[in-house]
Chains A and B, each alone.
Chain A
Amino acid sequence: MIKHQERVKKWKLATEKSMQRFPERKERFETSSKFEISRLYGADQVNYDIEKLGLPGEYPYTRGIQPTMYRARYWTMRQYAGFGSAEETNKRFRYLLQQGQTGLSVAFDLPTQIGYDSDHSMSKGEVGKVGVAIDSLEDMEALLREIPLDQVSTSMTINAPASVLLAMYIVVAEKQGISPDKISGTIQNDILKEYIARGTYIFPPKPSMRLITDIFAYCKEQVPKWNTISISGYHIREAGANAVQELAFTIANGKAYVDAAIEAGLNIDDFAPRLAFFFNAHNQFFEEIAKFRAARRIWAKLMKDTYGAQNPKSWQLRFHTQTGGSTLTAQQPDNNIVRVTLQALAAVMGGTQSLHTNSRDEALALPTEDSARIALRTQQIIAHESGVADTVDPLAGSYYVEHLTDVMEEEAGKYLEKIESLGGAVAAVEQGYMQREIHHTAYETQKAIEKGEEIIVGMNSFTLENEVRPELLRVDPTLGEKQKEKLKQLRNSRDEDRASARLETLRQGAKGTENLMPLIVDCVRDYCTIGEICGILREEFGEYAGV
């Protein structure tokens, strides 16, 4: 050991001497979170504590939540898709399943996400644009036609009206003859990050948290294989946060949901195993891997030590990953395939449970079928050709990665303390704390790019004079009218008295404290629309106005 230290000392001296002739590219190297990166990492920076790393499938899960990881089964390749009508999206889903995709992921249009029917005045121009338009059970039936709901797992990016979409899914399964305990999937259901970063909130925090804990309680009894929430750092990162902010704010939000559920009288081990997470895979390869590993360790400690959960499933942080949409450039869009490959590789090295790879043309429009296929093929190449999935946590023991994992945990801890001191995540959101932190980082990033301190290939360096403009996907502009027509017919053909009675019962429920999920399932079954259901809740709960 002494001998080795002597050698390192000599190496440092020799290196510093040679640097006088060959200086380094910059004075200070840093990660996206502004940690300084050393020239070299060695055994002296890393604390090889087996307790801290654990073994795969063992607390604190730094090395992954399963003992065999991808040697047993690859991550779920789950491409987020949805546009236009339910029928069109159903076609894309069946195409993706045929191409070897193993799970569905539904993108909804903005009116659906904000609880407006397609014929609402606020829906103008938005129907079917960023996802599929769902007004009633009828649309959901068309969306899932001929897809065996007991064989695929479905992730739905839906937050404020998550109860309504989950209710629709349950009823469609019922109609296929599949009982709720056989279906599996995820609803995003993460309202806090909507206030912070994504913007599709409806109700104020308090009733929103109630809707969420109602779902936790309902699914525990009725839909036990459903992931009741996907606590999302993804959008926080897209809004401009750095890696440590993404990590810390996500964990802080997770804590807030756990607190709310406990306050609602739930037992931690009854709902914690169904909590899922959703992270971004951004550009800085090693920092991202460290972020995923640190996330597992932080969550495991929190659940076991702070909350006293007994079930190991409660300790495990399972997560979905999507590559970073805001890293894509509109310029030279084919370069994005390479960015996505590196980001996807980081997610896999970090032990993700499922993955969405972005398409090359997403800075310009929704992806075309060709682009979506290349994105899926990227995952398949990583899985089947690169060999990275053949051993568990291959980067463990890397001086650098272990050091970064420790730093991520430590720095996230500082943010968590700060948020705690503000009264927890809900209070911090209401004070605009996270929003300000994120905006500050976003603006710094923009300035660094404009000054050329941060190089974006094809955009601020290595640019082309004459860009080739790719073919883009167009959404049927008449869809809004078609959805309106469908709604009109629905309102004529359904049993109007039953529908109104269901809505009235929901109103009474909202005034009280009972679990709203069964009431929403009843509404949906009798073809109440999402706008009607959310309309009642808007009247009872009020609307969030932003900070």
Chain B
Amino acid sequence: MNKKIRVLVAKPGLDGHDRGALVISQALRDYGMEVIYTGLRQTPQQIVAAAVQEDVDAIGLSCLSGAHNELFPEVMALLKERGADDIIVVGGGVIPWEDIPFLESAGVQKIFTPGTPTIETAKFIEAAVHARDGYTVSIGMEPPKKIDHIGIAVESLDEVLPFYVNTLGLKLEAIEEVPSQNVKVAFIKIGESRLELLEPLSEQSPIRQFITKRGQGVHHVALGVEGISERIGELKNAGIKMIQEKPVKGAGDASIAFIHPSSSHKVLFELCDKTEIEGGAS
């Protein structure tokens, strides 16, 4: 079970503007986190001491006085000194864009500029903490839209097709070869989804290896998604292992990538993005 995420919201330096700090504290609480607010005028030493003592997962630094370039890196250095640099640190306030790369290189995970919805900050902290702790949770993005297809490994298309087409009466859409996977693929339309029958073309084909090891049968489930590259990034952030870290071309010109079964409880999932083929994001 996931325990509640604990966050220290802190005001380093002499700045007295705490509207933002108070609002974000309450928003994180409403999101389900435990929040400790330090109050005004905290030195980096006090902030780090409080973070360690309270055993927090994350620190949110708020500064509107322009002292961020001095104070935020000092917090990071002290966390490291105390061996507490696994604490996720984010920041906000009146912070010019050009300072953000500097602060991020000092180890601040993200700077939220004015106008950021509080929910975005909450989700970021949650994802970062979960990634650190190795939880694999769905994050940020829309869930997959549908099952694009189910992949079935077969010895020979010619042998099995009559069952699907004649016996079940489904429609054969197309047969094509996918050189990247060394397979010949038949698509069978079923409702808004498909069955994808996969026949190995060579001994090197992953389908051949699959059949040798486990026999013919269900090989993978393909999830229909949009924005596949971003989704791969999000999944990686959440600690998910990918077989392909960048999308490759699959059957039907779709962009695809497989999730490593070690990250998905032994089921092989494919992410399958057909948005561009079907007319792109309009």
Chain A residues close to B by CB (< 8 Å): 110-111, 113-114, 116, 121-126, 129-130, 194, 198-200, 238-240, 326, 329-331, 363-366, 439, 442-443, 446, 450, 456, 459-460, 469, 472, 475, 477, 546
Interface residues on B, range: 20 to 34
11 residue pairs of the A-B complex, CB under 8 angstroms, read A110-B15, A110-B65, A122-B41, A124-B67, A124-B74, A126-B65, A129-B67, A199-B15, A200-B16, A365-B96, A460-B117
Shortest beta-carbon distance from B131 to chain A in Å: 25
Q: CB < 8 Å: which of B16, B22, B94 contacts A363? A: B94
Contact call B19/A442, Cβ cutoff below 8 A:
yes
Nearest neighbor of A446 in chain B, beta-carbon distance? B23
Contact call A330/B71, Cβ cutoff below 8 A:
no
Contact call B114/A199, Cβ cutoff below 8 A:
no
Going nearest first, the 9 A-B pairs with the smallest beta carbon separation are A199-B16, A125-B70, A125-B67, A110-B14, A129-B66, A330-B114, A459-B115, A450-B117, A126-B67
Nearest neighbor of B113 in chain A, beta-carbon distance? A330
Contact call A199/B40, Cβ cutoff below 8 A:
yes
Contact call A472/B115, Cβ cutoff below 8 A:
no
Which residues 1-25 in B have Cβ within 8 Å of A in the complex? 13-19, 22-23
Q: Does residue B136 face the partner (Cβ distance < 8 Å to A)?
A: no
> Given the known A-B contacts A126-B13, A330-B113, A450-B119, are A199 and B18 also in contact in the complex, defined by CB atoms under 8 Å?
yes
Pick the most buried of A110, A129, A363: most chain B CB atoms within 10 A of its CB.
A129
Q: Does residue B163 face the partner (Cβ distance < 8 Å to A)?
A: no
Contact call B22/A439, Cβ cutoff below 8 A:
yes
Shortest beta-carbon distance from B103 to chain A in Å: 13
- For residue A364, which residues in chain B have a CB less than 8 angstroms away from its CB? 94, 96-97
Contact call A125/B43, Cβ cutoff below 8 A:
no
Contact call B27/A446, Cβ cutoff below 8 A:
yes
Nearest neighbor of A121 in chain B, beta-carbon distance? B43
Contact call B65/A450, Cβ cutoff below 8 A:
no
Q: Does residue B275 face the partner (Cβ distance < 8 Å to A)?
A: no
For B17-37 the 0/1 string (1 means CB < 8 A from A) is 111001100110000000000
Contact call B65/A129, Cβ cutoff below 8 A:
yes
For B91-108 the 0/1 string (1 means CB < 8 A from A) is 000101110000000000
Which residues 180-203 in B have Cβ within 8 Å of A in the complex? none
Contact call B71/A124, Cβ cutoff below 8 A:
yes
Q: Does residue B39 face the partner (Cβ distance < 8 Å to A)?
A: yes
Q: Does residue B69 face the partner (Cβ distance < 8 Å to A)?
A: yes
A331 to B119, CA, bound (A): 19
Shortest beta-carbon distance from B25 to chain A in Å: 10
- For residue A363, which residues in chain B have a CB less than 8 angstroms away from its CB? 94, 114
Q: Does residue B118 face the partner (Cβ distance < 8 Å to A)?
A: yes
Pick the most buried of A113, A126, A239, A460: most chain B CB atoms within 10 A of its CB.
A126
Q: CB < 8 Å: which of B26, B66, B113 contacts A475? A: B66
Shortest beta-carbon distance from B123 to chain A in Å: 13
A450 to B116, CA, bound (A): 9
Contact call B96/A194, Cβ cutoff below 8 A:
no
User: What 16 additional pairs, Cβ within 8 angstroms, besides A111-B14, A126-B14, A330-B115?
Assistant: A110-B65, A110-B67, A124-B67, A125-B13, A125-B67, A125-B69, A199-B15, A200-B16, A239-B18, A363-B94, A365-B66, A443-B27, A450-B118, A456-B115, A472-B96, A472-B98
Nearest neighbor of A328 in chain B, beta-carbon distance? B114
A450 to B117, CA, bound (A): 6
A363 to B43, CA, bound (A): 24
> Given the known A-B contacts A125-B70, A475-B66, are A240 and B19 also in contact in the complex, defined by CB atoms under 8 Å?
yes
Q: CB < 8 Å: which of A198, A329, A450, A459 contacts B16? A: A198
- For residue B18, which residues in chain A have a CB less than 8 angstroms away from its CB? 199, 239
Nearest neighbor of B14 in chain A, beta-carbon distance? A110
> Given the known A-B contacts A364-B94, A365-B94, A475-B66, are A122 and B43 also in contact in the complex, defined by CB atoms under 8 Å?
yes
A113 to B27, CA, bound (A): 31
A472 to B113, CA, bound (A): 15
Shortest beta-carbon distance from B196 to chain A in Å: 37
Shortest beta-carbon distance from B190 to chain A in Å: 39
A267 to B39, CA, bound (A): 39
- For residue A329, which residues in chain B have a CB less than 8 angstroms away from its CB? 114-115
Contact call A446/B118, Cβ cutoff below 8 A:
yes
- For residue B27, which residues in chain A have a CB less than 8 angstroms away from its CB? 443, 446
Contact call A124/B70, Cβ cutoff below 8 A:
yes
